[in-house]
């Protein structure tokens, strides 16, 4: 059902893109247009699903500060298959989960990152083929510097928090 709704949204978005003729568009503007033209209407939603989204969003964003000064996720998610159904379970990073669940969570996180990197590489390759006259885009695979920059940012944030306290 979700894919059908996604297809309807994409069809309306494509129609709107043609209407605006803009190089890039704002989803808020699209929503206003789609509601006005009755191309997008909210669907009835189960309260449990709404609350589940809110809960998982809060869990995903929960973080703590390590003694070394970097932030880490306070809660971890792992997907398990039970009786043929996928189930997402959450555990506390500091005192929850089992060794197997922690390893599975790390493996799933890495697979998700690898998928994102692969998609990015495919996107760059396609844009380079499509826009051959433009400067060619690069996607650097070495994230060491990015991680170092974020570590420094965490340490600076910790120091700033210490000054306030």
Q: Are residues 84 and 139 in the same domain?
A: yes
Q: Are residues 19 and 73 in the same domain?
A: no
Q: Are residues 1 and 74 in the same domain?
A: no
**84: alpha, beta or left, given left = phi > 0 and alpha = psi -120 to 50?**
left
For the question of whether the overall pTM of this predicted structure is more than 0.85, the answer is: no
**38: alpha, beta or left, given left = phi > 0 and alpha = psi -120 to 50?**
left
**What phi, psi does 150 have (nearest 5°)?**
-70, -35
Going by pLDDT thresholds of 50, 70 and 90, the confidence category of residue 142 is very high
Tell me the mean pLDDT in the region 30-38. Answer: 92
Q: Are residues 36 and 55 in the same domain?
A: no
End-to-end C-alpha distance for the chain, whole angstroms: 50
Q: Are residues 155 and 91 in the same domain?
A: yes
Q: Are residues 135 and 158 in the same domain?
A: yes
Which H, E and C letters describe 77-133, residue by residue?
A: EEEEEECCEEEEEEEECCCCCCHHHHHHHHHHHHHHHHHHHHHHHHHHHHHHHHCCC
Q: Are residues 72 and 15 in the same domain?
A: no
Going by pLDDT thresholds of 50, 70 and 90, the confidence category of residue 17 is very high
Q: Whole domain around residue 128: which residue ranges?
A: 46-164
Higher pLDDT, 157 or 72: 72
pLDDT, residue 165, reads 66
Please give the helix or strand (H or E) that residue 71 lies within, else none.
Answer: strand 71-73
Could you report the per-residue pLDDT of 60-79, keeping only the tens digit for each? 999 998 888 889 999 999 99
Q: Are residues 24 and 71 in the same domain?
A: no
Q: Are residues 61 and 110 in the same domain?
A: yes
Could you report the per-residue pLDDT of 89-102, keeping only the tens digit for each? 999 999 999 999 99
Q: Are residues 53 and 34 in the same domain?
A: no
Is residue 15 packed enough to be buried (19+ CB in 10 Å), middle (13-18) or exposed (0-12)? middle
| Domain count for the chain | 2
Q: Are residues 32 and 105 in the same domain?
A: no
How far is residue 57 from each of residues 61, 66, 95, 100, 137, measured CA to CA in Å?
Answer: 6, 22, 20, 24, 33
Helix (H, G, I), strand (E, B) or coil at 1: coil
Q: Are residues 50 and 131 in the same domain?
A: yes
């Amino acid at each position: 059902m979700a894919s059908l709704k996604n297809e309807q949204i994409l069809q309306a978005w494509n129609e709107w893109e043609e209407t605006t003729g803009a190089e890039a568009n704002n989803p808020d503007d699209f929503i206003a247009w789609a509601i006005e033209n009755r191309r997008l209407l909210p669907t009835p939603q189960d309260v449990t699903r709404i609350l589940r989204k809110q809960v998982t969003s809060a869990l995903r964003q929960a973080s703590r500060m390590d003694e070394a000064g970097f932030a880490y996720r306070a809660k971890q998610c792992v997907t398990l298959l039970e009786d043929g159904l996928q189930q997402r379970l959450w555990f506390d990073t500091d005192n929850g989960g089992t060794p197997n669940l922690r390893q599975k969570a790390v493996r799933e996180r890495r697979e998700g990152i690898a998928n994102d990197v692969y998609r990015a590489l495919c996107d760059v390759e396609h844009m380079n083929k499509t826009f051959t006259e433009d400067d060619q885009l690069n996607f650097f695979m070495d994230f060491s510097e990015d991680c170092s920059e974020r570590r420094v940012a965490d340490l600076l944030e910790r120091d700033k928090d210490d000054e306030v306290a």
